[in-house]
Amino acid sequence: MTPRPESSGSRPKGTAGEKIPEQPTAAQKKSAAKKTAVPKQAAAKKATAPAKKAAVKKTAATRSPATKATAKKAAPAKTTAKKAVEKKAVAKKAAPEKATAAKATAEKVAATKATTEKTTAKKATAKKATATKATATKAVAKKATTKKAVAKKATATKAAATKTTAAKTTGTKATAAKPPAKKATTKKAPAKKATTKKATAGDNTAGNSTAAQAQTVPPEMELAVSPAVGSADRDRLLNGTHHNPHSVLGAHPVPGGIAFRVFRPYALSVTVVAGEVRTELQNDGDGFFSGLLPLREVPEYRLLVEYEGTVLDTEDAYRFLPTLGDLDLHLIGEGRHEELWTALGAHPMTHQGVTGTRFSVWAPNALGVRVAGTFNFWDGTGHVMRSLGSSGVWELFLPDIGEGELYKFEITRPDGSKTMRADPMARRTEVPPATSSVITSSGYEWSDAEWLSRRAEAPAHEAPFSVYEMHLPSWRPGLTYRQLAEQLPGYVKNLGFTHVELMPVAEHPFGGSWGYQVTGFFAPTARLGTPDDFRYLVDSLHRAGIGVLMDWVPAHFPRDDWALAEFDGRPLYEHADPLRAAHPDWGTLEFDYGRNEVRNFLVANALYWCEEFHIDGLRVDAVASMLYLDYSREPGQWTPNEHGGRENLDAVAFLQEMNATLYRRVPGVVTIAEESTAWDGVTRATHHKGPSGFGGLGFGLKWNMGWMHDSLQYMSHEPVYRKHHHHEMTFSMVYAYSENYVLPISHDEVVHGKRSLVSKMPGDWWQQRANHRAYLGFMWAHPGKQLLFMGQEFAQGAEWSEAHGPDWWLLDPGYGAEAEHRGVRDLVRDLNTVYRATPALWRLDTDPAGFEWVVGDAADDNVLAFLRLDPEGNPLLSVSNFAPVVRPDYRLGVPEDVPAWHEAVNTDAAAYGGSDVTNPDPVKPEAQPWHGRPASIRLTLPPLSTVWLRPA
């Protein structure tokens, strides 16, 4: 970091004792306007020696000479000036200034006498000169009269407001000072106003305070004001609490020219370069630099900023207009900005013809916001953001800053303390455990147009939909997004899955959370590569014909003090009520779904993943915890809604809006709810009200958690006891068509002591694998879509661990039991192949016309048989025998219009590691009624198996 130079103290001020120029003659008055444009060097030659020295050392920070009347009344005028500049004067300069004042007073008295003799021809002038002399004599002995004291005060005020730069226009200033003095003697109020104007000359309102005078006084009569930053603004900028730094810093028209103000901590000097003009600004201390150039308009300019050992040639960040318009701010305030990620965050761009990065952040409770990053050595002091009105949005365009730079926002909380925060809208982050945001933009060119054009041909609930759920970092540990793109599509395609579901890929600090405690909602985790690398993976899967679903977590977020929790010093993204904010299960915070900007943040985030990364669907995590105010809470720990109920009305409205917006904007997308209760209408359209009075939530699919729990409970029993739990396998059909369901065997079922799927099964190793295969066959035939977590496709015996992922060594040909594991994987491939080729298994998944029981009450036999039908009536017969015995000639009723049946899948086949009890020949119906049907067939049912038969 460039070391900070010693402070030069407060900006130097002019005093009432500075040398006074001679009273201009009539000819000088006539040419005063021309003299305002005299270059600085020429003006300096005409100045007296002390004035010239002050112009060199103080550039534009010292005040102009006083008028002749002020010189004659030096004692009271000096007192008035001293009071005005008392806080900013440097103590060590007091003695020299007094000596200069004494010398200047003597010289001015002589100059006054000479001027008076030249003007004796005019009676009015002679009278005035006499009065002036008398006043000067009186000033040494006693106070002037009240009116003349007021006149002196007004004159001294205007003189003190003038800069050393005004030496270029000495004649003009002396002439201009006289009429206001006469005006001031009329009454006391204008004199007070002049004094106030002097005190605020360096403030950001200086231009406005002299507007009336600028309209009435010709340009050549204008009085220059101090360009230095006023004390109030100076303190706010240094403390990081300024709401509008652009009104102070940069270049601003003021009386006397253009004021340039620059805030560059640690800089040794700052030079303004405007075309051929190079002007070094006055160093006002603490990183502030200022100067007044005698220009009519703000020029195109750059800054040369000298630090120790280097000079930076750059644009002035405070010369740019806001990069966000009124429409953006209006939509953000309403919570309707559907492309919020394009408005907030860090965006490389070209603004007003200059390349740089636009930073913007929502922090309505902040006293001030600054940007810190690698580009300013993590010191945001000089990069103060401006507040864009009541929107709560802060913005700053930084020129010459581009991709790859790290940054955070330094926020001053309402209590004055400061916090350094990652960007909530960051689209790229550092690799954890580092927490900085990274400036990024995408140049990725997609190649999945064909996939996108086809994915909307049929809704998900009427199409084949089998999902391979996976945790990207641990599927093949150590692989990047691009390396995964070389292996994953081929593997999933070979197994026949239609989709992959990625556990949360949004950035998260703790790997053990598997991505479910998100801190970077708009950034794919940097553990595996860049955002464009992730795009490449999605693109590769699409080109292989595989859809991409992603777990999305809008239910809660962690409490990390660099992320969203109390982002600007007060509850912002979380609910203000502590009972509503704290999530009771995970130690996290719940979003405030009733706040427009928070709802907008989440809705836009859902759109972001689908539009920017071509994600085909979102599986929404922990929906139940969002819907109920009393979720995991005891009585007294929650407050009922306005109707006295336990439903979270804000969350309901948010989910409805999210789904409606996503389906409207992204054709072919699907949303899937992980909702574990009997909430009415999870997959019903939002505009259709149900019995409870609520409209539907608008999801496309819902995880069938009831089926999963019941069926796994049944399978965990020894076969001899299963007849007592037969209803656990049939109950799902009571409500199978109440929602559009997915049947999930997810990561949640194979961790934390729950054991892997095959290990849940009873019996020895052979029986466990047989049960495992039979269960998968039953699952794929049951109404609903399928989801299987990685590792379960080849019967991994150990629980999943994010540290090392699936046990791929089980498929190593050198391993003795490799064939048994590979057989299960081959079964999964064949189930998916037949499934995708058989519309009866998916076309009417949500229609009762697509399912018929053959036998659902054979509890003593542990047998379940049913028909699946497509819209044309073409059937598939599924028969499961969950007993460890062979059942020969098992009679089942079937439709009479099918001439013969043949096996499509038999989970007991030798190729899958079974005992190879099969029905190799077509099975013809007999005219014997059975199970209420006019015809029947006789089958040999293998032990612990599921058999699929299709018309031959």
DSSP element (H, E) containing 251: strand 250-254
Residue 562 CA neighbour count, 13 Å, CB half = 15
Question: Which residue from 55, 36, 33, 60 is spatially nearest to 44, judged by alpha carbons?
Answer: 55
Sheet-wide strand order for 901-906:
851-858, 863-869, 875-881, 945-951, 901-906
> What angle (nearest 5°) sits at the alpha carbon of residue 84, between those of residues 83 and 86?
60
The one catalytic residue among 674, 728, 739, 826:
674
Other residues' Cβ atoms within 10 Å of the Cβ of residue 455: 21
Annotated catalytic, 486?
no
User: Alpha carbon of 464 to those of 137, 250, 756, 947: distances in Å?
Assistant: 106, 62, 26, 20
- In DSSP terms, 689 is beta-bridged to 695
For residue 577, count other CB atoms closer than 10 A to its CB: 12
Backbone φ and ψ of 307, nearest 5°: -115, 175
Output the CA–CA distances (angstroms, integers) from residue 436 to 285, 408, 507, 518, 567, in the order listed.
31, 6, 11, 14, 15
What's CA 50's distance to the chain center, in Å?
56
φ, ψ of residue 879 in degrees (nearest 5): -130, 125
Task: Name the strand (E) or helix (H) holding 458.
Answer: none
Rounded CA separation 184/149 (Å): 10
Angstrom distance (rounded) from CA 320 to CA 314:
13
Catalytic residue of the set 18, 621, 675, 728: 621
Question: Within its chain, how far is the Cα of 418 from the centroid?
Answer: 19
883: number of CA atoms within 13 Å, CB side? 18
Angle between helices 146-160 and 170-184 (to 10 degrees): 150
- Ranges of beta strands (E only) in 294-392 are 302-307, 310-314, 345-351, 354-362, 368-373, 386-387
The torsion angles phi and psi of 171, rounded to 5 degrees, stand at -60, -45
The β-bridge partners of 291 are: 260
Q: CB–CB of 778/864 below 8 Å?
A: yes
The continuous run of DSSP H or E covering 129 comes out as helix 123-141
- Alpha carbons 121 and 100: distance in angstroms, whole number: 33
Residue that the structure tokens 């000067």 belong to: 136
Is the four-CA dihedral 200, 202, 207, 208 of positive or negative sign?
negative
569 in helix, strand or coil? Answer: coil
3-state secondary structure (DSSP) of residue 393: strand
For residues 241 and 369, what is the distance between their CA atoms, to the nearest angstrom? 7
C-beta of residue 136 within 8 angstroms of C-beta of residue 72: yes
423 is catalytic: no
Give which of 206, 234, 746, 163 is closest to 503, Cα–Cα: 746
Q: What 8-state DSSP symbol labels residue 690?
A: -
Catalytic residue positions, numbered? 621, 674
